[in-house]
């Protein structure tokens, strides 16, 4: 990173209302003022209503980190030497729990200039962030800088970017064989997000004790043939738990999936020191959102894991329709075999993808999932 002047923009609601809104009432009470009102209302480029500001800092080439990689050289943060490094464990409202390298925890608020930067994110600080913060007392601090991110898992929520977690190496996509029903299309969407973010996806099928193992082979075989690791797990019988522990050891991981699939139960089984709260299924075999916020947890056998709230839906963020095909690992080899270079693999003639599906070389469900994501999103 190189130090330079950076022009940043703030949200519209950063400043209070400056123009007077009761001119009629003032006229009725006092009449015209001797001062020139027009001159008072004139706004220059450097006025208080200007929503842009030039700061001196370091900007990363990583577009994901955007303006959050800035070191703000202002009166409040004039020297990095006075700041302490830490990692955000969880965020609840305006309060962030930050843990230092020596294991101390602080409840921190985020500096206002970071909260009001005009970005497409719902919140400036998320679980997994590496930050620099100023210690105010033995238990409190203020986050001054958010370090550049990698391995960010995000979805679209209310037309904005909702980051679930950042700075992770792998994503464990947890589904259940039954109760609630397995949703293969949700697996596809989570895999696309992991592929785009450079995070290794691992498919974990929990509650295998509820059905015949042979019923899972077609689905597990399709994903395994593409090179994805597939784990079949059961908390009740202990199937696959040792393999799960080996996968989590000394890595930064995130568990993502529907409510009620057993994410917290699997973590409790893998590490008996976690004691995460778990709940029963609600009506229609749906989860009850027992986990309400993403939290970074340190594992007793090494590594970190983030347990996230259950997902009812997962809308892709920052993936345009033309990119979807390239993120399907099994469809990608057929891209250059079609008659037309811009083939959408929907209605075109001499389409290699449709031929492969008809001949059984490609899974029909995966092809239909591609069409749903690209044309039905």
How is 11-43 classified by DSSP, letter by letter? -TTSS---S-S-HHHHHHHH-S-SS-HHHHH--
Given pLDDT bands bounded at 50, 70 and 90, which one contains residue 286?
Answer: low
The per-residue pLDDT for 138 is 86
Taking residues 93-114, what's their average pLDDT? 89
Locate all alpha helices (DSSP H) within the chain, ordered by sequence: 23-30, 37-41, 112-115, 184-197, 217-225, 241-248, 263-270, 321-327, 352-358, 364-376
Q: Name the more confident of 12 and 157.
A: 157
The per-residue pLDDT for 299 is 94
Please name which of 200, 167, 150 lies closest in space to residue 88, comparing C-alpha atoms: 167
Given pLDDT bands bounded at 50, 70 and 90, which one contains residue 76?
Answer: very low
Q: Name the more confident of 59 and 70.
A: 59
Please name which of 111, 80, 83 lies closest in space to residue 96, comparing C-alpha atoms: 111
Taking residues 341-366, what's their average pLDDT? 95
Going by the DSSP 8-state scheme, the letter that residue 10 receives in this structure is B
Lowest mean pLDDT, pick from 72-86, 265-279, 295-309:
72-86
Q: Name the more confident of 18 and 230.
A: 230
Q: What angle is formed at CA 195 by the lines to CA 190 and CA 197, rounded to 5 degrees?
A: 95
Checking if the pLDDT of 21 tops 80, the result is no
Distances (CA, A) of 299 to 86, 95, 275, 304, 308: 17, 23, 12, 6, 16
Q: Do 164-307 and 321-376 come out as alike in CATH topology? A: no
Does domain 52-146 fall under CATH 3.40.630.40? My reply is no
Taking residues 282-287, what's their average pLDDT? 52
Q: Looking at the domain covering 321-376, what would its CATH class be?
A: mainly alpha
Lowest mean pLDDT, pick from 13-22, 271-280, 344-353:
13-22
Q: Can you identify the CATH homologous superfamily of domain 164-307?
A: P-loop containing nucleotide triphosphate hydrolases (3.40.50.300)
Q: Name the more confident of 5 and 144.
A: 144
Checking if the pLDDT of 346 tops 90, the result is yes
SS (H, E, C) 344-373: CCCCCCCCHHHHHHHCCCCCHHHHHHHHHH
Given pLDDT bands bounded at 50, 70 and 90, which one contains residue 162?
Answer: confident
Which range among 49-53, 109-113, 309-313 has the greatest average pLDDT?
109-113
Is residue 58 within 8 Å of 1, Cβ to Cβ? Answer: yes
Integer Cα distance of 254 and 124 in angstroms:
19
SS3 label, residue 332: helix
Checking if the pLDDT of 49 tops 80, the result is no
Percent of the chain having pLDDT more than 70?
Answer: 76
Checking if the pLDDT of 60 tops 80, the result is no
Is residue 273 within 8 Å of 260, Cβ to Cβ? Answer: no
Percent of the chain having pLDDT more than 90?
Answer: 51
The per-residue pLDDT for 71 is 41
Ranges of each domain in the chain: 52-146, 164-307, 321-376
Is residue 155 within 8 Å of 162, Cβ to Cβ? Answer: yes
Q: Name the more confident of 122 and 255.
A: 255
Integer Cα distance of 114 and 146 in angstroms:
9
Checking if the pLDDT of 301 tops 80, the result is yes
Checking if the pLDDT of 54 tops 50, the result is yes
* CA count, 13 A, side-chain hemisphere, 116: 13
Checking if the pLDDT of 96 tops 80, the result is yes
Classify strands 84-92 and 130-135 as parallel, antiparallel or unpaired: antiparallel
Tally Cβ neighbours within 10 Å of residue 352.
Answer: 19
Given pLDDT bands bounded at 50, 70 and 90, which one contains residue 70?
Answer: very low
The per-residue pLDDT for 3 is 57
Given pLDDT bands bounded at 50, 70 and 90, which one contains residue 82?
Answer: confident
Q: What is the mean pLDDT of the chain?
A: 82
Checking if the pLDDT of 69 tops 50, the result is no
The per-residue pLDDT for 160 is 82
Q: Name the more confident of 60 and 300.
A: 300
Integer Cα distance of 42 and 312 in angstroms:
50
């Amino acid at each position: 990173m190189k130090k330079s002047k950076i022009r940043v923009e703030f949200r519209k609601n950063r400043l209070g209302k400056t123009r007077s809104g009761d001119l009629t009432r003032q006229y009725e009470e006092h009449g015209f003022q001797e001062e020139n009102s027009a001159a008072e209302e004139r706004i220059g480029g450097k006025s208080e209503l200007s929503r842009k500001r030039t700061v001196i800092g370091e900007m990363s080439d990583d577009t994901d980190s955007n303006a959050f990689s800035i070191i703000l050289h202002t009166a409040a943060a004039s020297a990095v030497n006075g700041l302490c490094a830490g990692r955000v464990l969880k965020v609840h409202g305006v309060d962030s729990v930050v843990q230092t390298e020596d294991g101390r925890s602080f409840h921190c608020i985020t500096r206002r200039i970071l909260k009001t930067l005009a970005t497409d994110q719902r919140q400036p600080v998320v679980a997994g962030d590496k930050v620099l913060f100023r210690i105010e007392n033995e238990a409190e601090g203020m986050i001054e800088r958010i370090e550049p991110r990698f391995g960010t898992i995000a979805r679209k929520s209310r037309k904005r970017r909702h980051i679930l977690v950042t700075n992770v190496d792998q994503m464990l996509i947890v589904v259940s064989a039954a109760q609630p029903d397995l949703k293969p299309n949700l697996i596809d969407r989570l895999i696309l997000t992991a592929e785009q973010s450079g995070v290794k996806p691992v498919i974990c099928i929990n509650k295998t004790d509820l059905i015949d193992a042979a019923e899972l082979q077609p689905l597990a075989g399709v994903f395994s043939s593409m090179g994805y690791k597939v784990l079949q797990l059961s908390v009740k019988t202990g199937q696959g738990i040792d393999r799960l522990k080996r996968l989590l050891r000394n890595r930064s991981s995130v568990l993502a999936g529907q409510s009620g699939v057993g994410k917290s139960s699997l973590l409790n089984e893998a590490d008996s020191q976690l004691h995460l709260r778990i709940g029963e299924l609600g009506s229609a075999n749906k989860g009850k959102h027992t986990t309400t916020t993403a939290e970074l947890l340190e594992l007793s056998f090494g590594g970190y894991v983030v347990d996230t709230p259950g997902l009812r839906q997962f809308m892709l963020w920052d993936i345009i329709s033309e990119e979807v095909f390239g993120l399907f690992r099994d469809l990608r080899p057929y891209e250059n075999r079609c008659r037309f270079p811009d083939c959408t693999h929907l209605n075109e003639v001499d389409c290699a993808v449709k031929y492969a599906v008809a001949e059984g070389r490609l899974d029909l469900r995966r092809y239909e999932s591609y069409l749903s994501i690209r044309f039905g999103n």
